[in-house]
Amino acid sequence: MLFDEKEMMELCEKYGIPVVENDGTVLFEEEMTEDFLISEIMNEPYVSYDDNINISSKKYSLNIPLIGGLNSRNEMIDNTSEIKYCSVAKDKYYNNCTSTIDRKSKNAIAA
Amino acid sequence: MCMSKISIEYNPLLYYNEIGYHKTYSIYKESIIENGFKPSCDDDDWLGEGIYFWDNLDNANWWNKNKNKGTMKHCVFQCELRCKANKYLNLDDKNEMNKFDIFSKQYIKEMRKLGEKIPKFGNNNQRKKFFCDLYCKKNNFEILSHTFEHDIINSAGFKVGIEYKRQICVRENSNIKIIAVKE
């Protein structure tokens, strides 16, 4: 676990950062994204993608553009790696219901 | 002591080693030589708490050159900065910056879930300092560096370009060895 409230308060005091109640207030614009590990939503061990990744899960059924440049074009993401994140801009994509899994990646691995 | 170009012999696989330049007021020179540097955490210390260096003499001379003109004299310390390779964080390395970003995202997630109180950052500089201190503490980094952008402002006050200057933040005096001081 990374978060320690006492440590956080000490840092805020050191830098004069005000502290507020945790009531869901958005602190900065980039915070309006929701992060999740690819492994949390994908069943495929490897997925390939261009600029967008098409995924399907119980929670999300989306066409998500990858933020942060996890990998270069046409390469595989190893879904078993814990450091791979997707970011989704809140309210921007949740209603977008294209949902296909790229089966090419599974076939390529099988081959 | 004159400031000359020096070379360092070291094994880059085992150690990070670099010559850094620290500009300060001449009135502090003797105290620094005797007692070492004092870590700072001012508004413009964007890499968190530590002792700040520039990667070359020109950049050190450029820093704060218009402040206190004609009143306070400055001096520049030339120092050897050193730590074990795994204690150095290079934020110009894209992979390292990505790891740092993932750490910060995870921290924010946990904070949202567990914290009764949370920080309200006034600007990105506060965020940089907060997360740099946290990340270095959690990973035992002793030295970190990053190249920052600085606006080039013309005489009429307009931004006409960007220049890039690399800063090194050393968190402890024990990682610093003074080589020379120039006034």
State the pTM of this model.
0.70
Beta bridge partners of B176: B81
pLDDT tens digits, one per residue of A94-107: 333 222 233 333 33
Q: Which residues in chain A have their CB less than 8 angstroms from residue B42's CB?
A: none
Q: Which of B133, B90, B127 is nearest to B108 (CA)?
A: B127
Q: Is some CB atom of chain A closer than 8 A to the CB atom of B134?
A: yes
- What residue type is B77 in one-letter code? F
pLDDT tens digits, one per residue of B51-63: 999 999 888 888 7
Pick from A17, A21, A35: which is nearest to B121 by CB? A17
Q: In Å, how far is A72's CA from the nearest CA of chain B? A: 13
- Cβ–Cβ of A22/B41 closer than 8 Å? no
Q: Is the pLDDT of residue B67 over 80?
A: no
- What are the residue boundaries of the structural domains of chain A, listed by start? 31-110
Q: What is the average per-residue pLDDT within B155-174?
A: 93
| pLDDT at position B176 | 97
Predicted ipTM of the assembly: 0.81
- Cβ–Cβ of A83/B105 closer than 8 Å? no
Higher pLDDT pick, A30 / B77: B77
Which residues are CB-contacts of B74 (< 8 A; sequence separation ≥ 6)? Answer: B23, B24, B25, B26, B64, B183
| pLDDT at position A22 | 86
| pLDDT at position B180 | 93
Domains of chain B plus CATH, in order, are: 15-182 (3.90.228)
Q: Is the pLDDT of residue A47 over 70?
A: no
Quick one: CA dihedral B172, B178, B182, B183, positive or negative?
Answer: positive
- SS3 of chain A: the string is CCCCHHHHHHHHHHHCCCEEECCCCCCCHHHCEEEEEHHHHCCCCEEECCCEEEEECCCCEEEEECCCCCCCCCCEEECCCCCCEEEEECCCCCCCCCCCCCHHHHHHHHC
